[in-house]
Structure 1
Amino acid sequence: MTIKKTAHSSWSGDIKSGKGSISTQSGALDKQPYGFNTRFEGKAGTNPEELVAAAHSGCFSMALSLALTEAGYTADDITTKATVSLDEVDDGFEVSHIALEVTAKIADISEETFNELCQQTKQGCPISKLMNAEISLSQKLN
C-alpha cells in the first residue's frame, strides 16, 4: 500500500525580496507565506526547516505511540519537540542535525523500556527514514 500526500509552493522574485507561499493537500497550510525574511530573519511566516521539524515531531510521537501499544502500554501524553539545524557551509546551506526531545507520561513503564522504545522509534519513524530516502526529480520549463 502506498499513501501519497502532496504540498506545493510557489515563488516569485529574487532570493532576498521575493515571496512565496506553501499549501498542503489537507488545507492545513493554505498559501502560507514564506521568504528569505521568514527563513533567515525570524519574520512571521513559515520556512522549510520548521515544516520538517513539524513533520518529524508529529511522526515520532505517532510512531512512539505505536511502539508503546505493541509493547502493551498506552501513553497518557507524548510531547515531541524537533529542532532542525540549518548551517551555512562552503557550498551553501545544509540541514546538519535534527534534535528530537520527547517527554511522555506512561503508567507502569520502566525508564529502561521507555528508552529502548524511543531508540527503536527513532530508527523506525518514517520521517527519520526520510532523511536517507531516494529523491527523484522531474522538471519542465514553460
Structure 2
Amino acid sequence: MQLFRRAFAGEQEAWVYVIDIFQPLIYPWLRRVRGTRSDFIDDDDLTTVAHDALLKLRDSANRIPELTAGDDLRRLLAYLRKCTISEVQTLFRRRNRLREISYITDDTPDGAHSLDVETRRVLSQRLQEVLSEDELFVSEHIIR
C-alpha cells in the first residue's frame, strides 16, 4: 500500500514499480474478455487498457481516500478490477461507434455528399439546434 500511496502522490519511480508489479495482474482479466471478443481486443489494446485502468485507479484514489486507507490491498485491487472492466467497456463502446460510422459511410451512395446549398443550410441549422458545442465541432472539422 505504501508503494501505491507514493505513486498516487506523484512519485514517478513508485509509479514505474506499480506498473511493473500490477499491470501483469490485469492481463489475465483482459484475456478472459478477449477470449469472448477477440475481434475487438488485440495485444496493443491489452497494454492500453491496462495502462488506462491504472490511471483511472490513480485518479479515483486521489478522489476517494478510503481506497488507500489501511494496509489491506484487497479493496484497492478490487477497485482496479472494476477500473479494468470499465476501460474494456469504454473500448467496446468506442469500437461499436466506429463500426456504426464505418457502416453508414460504406452504405452512403455515391453523390450523397453533394447536397445543394439550401439543403446544407437547413441541415446546418437543425444540427445547431440538436447538437452540443463539442458535437458541432466534430461534425464540422472531422466528419467532413
Query: Which structure's CA Rg is the greater one?
Result: 2
> Greater strand share, 1 or 2?
1
More helix by share: 2
**Do the two structures share a fold, i.e. TM-score over 0.5?**
no
Higher-RCO chain (CA-CA 8 Å, sequence separation at least 6)? 2
TM-score relative to the length of structure 2 = 0.31
